[in-house]
Amino acid sequence: MSDLAVVLRKTRSEGRAALVGYLPAGYPSVEEAIAALATMVEGGVDIVEVGLPYSDPLMDGPTIQAAVDAALTAGTTPADVLRTVKAVAEGGTPTMVMTYWNPVEQYGPDRFAADLAAAGGAGVIIPDLIPEEAAPWLAAVDTTGLDPIFLVAPSSTQPRLAFVAAHCRGFVYAASTMGVTGAREQISGRAATLVSRLREVTELPVCVGLGVTTGAQAAEVAAYADGVIVGSAFVRRLLDADSPEAGLTSVHALAEELATGVRAASRTDSGSW
């Protein structure tokens, strides 16, 4: 059983969803990003998602784009991403990478999977890669034991949901809405329907991302999903901070608020996985 599966089973046994927190490697610097990720875990994040900075982040909204651009300008490399993963994973928290396909293809799928596994990585989310075009990547992760995680959207047909879920391990990533990442005043009502539809075709955990900003929103999603993924809200705390110390304090406070939300949610049936 993978590290992701272990944590998701543990949180389910506790009657709650897992809290997944995202930050891009290298922002504000490599070391400060590592410190921020550690602070998120201290605040209650169960699973960490490290972003690999890329020049064309088509799924990411302006908040994450701003941080990624700053990280790239500062010279952040895939080696820095792996160093970030290693630092977080050594603390015992399952750590994934979120990346687009081009950097992996340039690095070499087999080499990237091997190096990430050696760093302690648990899985990889590649939002612009679909299972039909993922044969080299799936072969690479099968060799290393990493969990491949693909995305589904509210517009996905039922056969499509089944097909994508069949190629995932760890969990299925359910995008709550059509569009890019970013904080939203309310979570789309289509997210709950999407999770329910996924329950019909897979026993894998389902984690929901895109738009969660507050503890109340986290509780709303945690009532029906197995995991709540938060990214832009954490990044915004760092972007708006007057100092590194203030950024860490703000990130910790948000993690605590979100963790309280997922633990306070009134759970509905979360499947038989």
For the chain, the three-class secondary structure string (H helix, E strand, C coil) is CCHHHHHHHHHHHCCCCEEEEEEECCCCCHHHHHHHHHHHHHHCCCEEEEECCCCCCCCCCHHHHHHHHHHHHCCCCHHHHHHHHHHHHCCCCCEEEECCHHHHHHHCHHHHHHHHHHCCCCEEECCCCCHHHCHHHHHHHHHHCCEEECEECCCCCHHHHHHHHHCCCCCEEEECCCCCCCCCCCCCCHHHHHHHHHHCCCCCCEEEECCCCCHHHHHHHHCCCCEEEECHHHHHHHHCCCCHHHHHHHHHHHHHHHHHHHHHCCCCCCCCC
Cα–Cα distance, 244 to 252 (Å, whole number): 12
pLDDT at residue 190, as a whole number: 82
Residue type, position 216, single letter: A
Tell me the β-bridge partners of 50: 23, 97
Q: At what angle do helices 62-73 and 232-239 cross, to 10 degrees?
A: 60
The whole-number pLDDT of residue 269 equals 55
The pLDDT assigned to 211 comes to 81
* Environment class of 249 (CB within 10 Å of its CB; exposed 0-12, middle 13-18, buried 19+): middle
**pLDDT tens track, the chain, 273 positions:** 789 999 999 999 999 999 999 999 999 999 999 999 999 999 999 999 999 999 987 778 899 999 999 999 999 999 999 999 999 999 999 999 999 999 999 999 999 999 999 999 999 999 999 999 999 999 999 999 999 999 999 999 999 999 999 999 999 999 975 444 444 444 557 889 999 999 999 999 999 988 899 999 999 999 999 999 999 999 999 999 999 999 999 999 999 999 999 998 866 654 544
Q: What's the CATH number of domain 3-11+25-264, 3.30.365.10, 2.70.40.10, 2.60.40.60, 3.20.20.70?
A: 3.20.20.70
Strands 95-98 and 123-125: parallel
Residue 271 pLDDT: 52
pLDDT at position 183 is 43
Active site residues: 49, 60
- Distance of alpha carbon 15 from alpha carbon 119, whole angstroms: 31
Tell me, yes or no, if the pTM score tops 0.85: yes
CA dihedral 23, 28, 30, 32 (to 10 degrees): -90
Query: Cα-flanking dihedrals φ and ψ of residue 242, to 5°?
Result: -80, -15
**What does the pLDDT read at residue 59?**
79
Tell me the domain boundaries of the chain.
Answer: 3-11+25-264
Name the token pair of 270: 């979360």
